[in-house]
Amino acid sequence: MPRNRSLRLAALGSTVQRAAAPAYSTARGRNALRRRVVAGVLVALSLILITGYFRESDNGALHGVQGATASVLRPFQIGAERVARPFQDGYDWVAGFFHAKSENEALREQLQALRQQAIQNTTAAQENRELRNALKFRSGPMYPSGYDQVAAEVISYGANQFQQELVISAGRNAGIRLNDPVTDSQGFLVGHISKTTSKTAEVSLLTDGDFSVAGRDAYTGTYGLVSHGQGAGETLILDLVPKDKVIRENDLIVTAGRRSARLPSLYPRNIAIGVVTSVGQTDVDIHQAVQIAPLADFSSLNVLLVLVPKSR
């Protein structure tokens, strides 16, 4: 009964019997039951999908359905991405414009340092070639010469912050297989292939909690295991670095590419991963705490390169 009922309504309401109430109540009950049944069936169906998908192999029926649906969506995603690209580039340009002045100064200093380094590197490379020739040295497959690069557009970004995966527009038909390394267009390590369909593939990023790769300090040769830190953001850590090993801030970390008979590395040697931002150690820990800033810019990944071994 409404609160603002009139005296007349209150009086009538108290004496008039509600003849239609049972029918109304039955209809409402039926609607409520139907509503709950539909929701219950859909929830049950979702749980069945999750369980089935989780338990079946990558060649299972649900993976097949997913691959087919992804193939249907793919051209639309590529189209949408291409339409939006100029606007996104414009946004990036405007955003970058505000940082340009401060960045310019830092880049000039960096350029000076790199020029010096380039001169030293040229001399070292010449020496390296001469020594290899003298020793008749035979190396394994090298990056990038031992790999074909399959370029693919990013057609889907993770739907929320909990997903650290992307979907690219090339899959098994382009020769891409599970665990193939993935770099950005500048050759910085981005992640690896974690799922494939015939025309698309999923890339797990370096920032995924499951990801780890053997890394090496390019200057001191110190080895460690690169993985995503416990905190938020894109910061990586170089773990398992003993305290007696030398590692410094601003050192470049590259893939170690170490191969052993039992645990071969998925990644070729010398793909740049990131730069050391801090090195610390505590009395209780037997390893150093090394943080790395990845070189790849995960916020603007548009085209990725999948490294497919030539010898496959």
Partner 1 sequence: MASDILKAAGVFFVAVVLQSAIVSSIEPGGGTADLVLVTLTAVALLRGAVFGAVVGFYAGFLLDAADLETLGLSSLLLTLAGYWIGRYGETTGRDRAHAPLLAIAVVTVLFALGSLAMHYVLADPVSARAGLVDALPAEIVLNLLLTIPVYALCRRIFARPSARPAVEVELGT
Q: Does 86 bind partner 1 (CB under 8 A)?
A: no
Which of positions 188-207 make contact with partner 1 (CB under 8 A)? 195, 197, 200, 202
Q: Does 99 bind partner 1 (CB under 8 A)?
A: no
Among 14, 16, 54, 283, binds partner 1 (CB under 8 A): 54
Which of positions 269-298 make contact with partner 1 (CB under 8 A)? none
Please identify, using beta-carbon distances, which residue of 12 and 48 lies nearer to partner 1. 48
**Tokens describing residue 275:** 């730069």
Please identify, using beta-carbon distances, which residue of 88 and 121 lies nearer to partner 1. 88
Q: What is the DSSP string of the chain?
A: --TT--HHHHHHHHHS--TTHHHHHHHHHHHHHHHHHHHHHHHHHHHHHHHHHHHS-TTSHHHHHHHHHHHHHHHHHHHHHHHHHHHHHHHHHHHHHHHHHHHHHHHHHHHHHHHHHHHHHHHHHHHHHHHHHHHT------TTTTEEEEEEEEEEE-SSTT--EEEES--GGGT--TT-EEEETTSBEEEEEEEE-SS-EEEEETTSTT-EEEEEETTT--EEEEEE-SSSSS-EEEE--BTTS---TT-EEEE-----SSS--SS-TT-EEEEEEEEE--SS-SB-EEEEEESS-GGG--EEEEEEETT-
What count of other Cβ atoms lies within 10 Å of the Cβ of residue 202? 21
Q: Does 232 bind partner 1 (CB under 8 A)?
A: yes
Stretch of 51-59, 123-131, 182-190, 239-247 lying at the interface with partner 1 (CB under 8 A) = 51-59
Among 9, 10, 27, 65, binds partner 1 (CB under 8 A): 65
> Cβ of residue 151: shortest distance to partner 1, in angstroms?
18
Please identify, using beta-carbon distances, which residue of 79 and 242 lies nearer to partner 1. 79
Among 2, 22, 231, 280, binds partner 1 (CB under 8 A): 231
> Cβ of residue 225: shortest distance to partner 1, in angstroms?
15
Among 81, 175, 185, 225, binds partner 1 (CB under 8 A): 81
Please identify, using beta-carbon distances, which residue of 75 and 140 lies nearer to partner 1. 75
Q: Does 155 bind partner 1 (CB under 8 A)?
A: yes
Among 17, 160, 260, 311, binds partner 1 (CB under 8 A): 160
First to last CA, the chain: 78
Give the interface with partner 1 as residue ranges (CB under 8 A).
Answer: 34-35, 38-39, 42-43, 45-54, 62, 65-66, 69-70, 73, 76-78, 80-81, 84, 88, 91, 154-163, 165, 167, 195, 197, 200, 202, 208-210, 230-233, 299-300
